[in-house]
A and B are shown apart, each in its own frame.
Chain A
Amino acid sequence: MSESFVLESQIRLPYRYAVGKWYGAFLLGLTEERLVGSRCGSCGKVAVPARAACPLCSAASAALVEVGPRATVVAAARDAREGGRQWLLVRPDGADTCLLTYGEAESGTTVEPDYDPGAGPVIGALRGFRATA
């Protein structure tokens, strides 16, 4: 039997969505080089990024709160594939939840945000976190 054809193709799905006013406040905060979370109207915990409902008790958020800029690395893991980067789970000062981000730092250390000033209100405006100077 002759060799089988191998078909190569792709499915491309471009999309666009409105992020909502709470996550919008977080993205807007990045353009001002600050981290914006939300305070729960019931339990008072602070979630970051800001969101409409508390991830801990599900009650509606009451207000926007600035957190950080310093944060503590809770966990770090390297993507071992070629070109892979290190992921960090960081908890900004004043926040009760963590952000998943990039950075070169070890667990337990203190880090600060690394912003891309020209990126605009997108998640790429936060390049990651780095060790505090």
Chain B
Amino acid sequence: MSEPRFPDEPLFVTAELTLRYRYGAGREATHYLRVLKEDMSFEGSHCPQCDRVYLPPRPVCGICYAECDGWVPVGPDGTIAGATVVEVPFVDPITGEQRPVPYGFAFILLDGASTNIFHFVDETDRTRLKVGMRVRPRFRAERTGSITDVEGFDLIREEGEA
């Protein structure tokens, strides 16, 4: 046999690291996700001191540190507080697959909430996404108790608007 040799072309190794995990969602997120799944609605947590309504909910107010005292229905409609269209393909760390682009993505302030959630919006033309636009959630028929039970938010278009 011939002498050991270096490869003529670079050799590549293809591999994959999969990190599975599970964790208890806790009291607030459990309530939030259960209402989302069972009622297709949103509830935020209320701070008795500053009157803010947190969505997603949190047990303690992030501004005045008071313990939140209850649930307040918010939305389902909301207003875009910031938006972008993602056009650069990247590997989704959840699926390990390349996420299809382009897609619209926005910070959304649901009616009655004091904080934003972020989610997909059904618009991929950047010039047609504006702060202040009204949106409405589109729920999946099969829901599991996850924020992805909301497939995305649709722009509420005026009558006759494309």
Report whether A7 and B11 are in contact in the complex, using a CB–CB cutoff of 8 Å: no
Per DSSP, chain A at the interface is mixed
B73 to chain A, nearest CB (A): 18
Report whether B23 and A7 are in contact in the complex, using a CB–CB cutoff of 8 Å: yes
Partner of B27, one of A4, A27, A50: A4
Q: How many residues belonging to A are interface residues under a CB distance threshold of 8 Å?
A: 37
- Cβ of A11 within 8 Å of any chain B Cβ, yes or no, is yes
Report, as a range, how many residues of chain B touch the other chain.
Answer: 35 or more
Known interface pairs A25-B6, A25-B7. Does A10 touch B13 (Cβ–Cβ under 8 Å)? no
Report whether A17 and B20 are in contact in the complex, using a CB–CB cutoff of 8 Å: no
- Cβ of A122 within 8 Å of any chain B Cβ, yes or no, is yes
Complex: A16 Cα to B95 Cα, angstroms: 17
- Cβ of B146 within 8 Å of any chain A Cβ, yes or no, is yes
Known interface pairs A16-B14, A25-B5, A64-B4. Does A8 touch B95 (Cβ–Cβ under 8 Å)? no
A-to-B contact residues, CB < 8 Å: 1-19, 21-25, 27-29, 32, 34, 36, 50, 64-66, 121-123
Given contacts A5-B29, A12-B96, A28-B6, 10 further A-B contacts (CB under 8 A): A4-B24, A11-B21, A12-B18, A13-B17, A13-B91, A15-B14, A21-B10, A25-B7, A29-B4, A64-B6
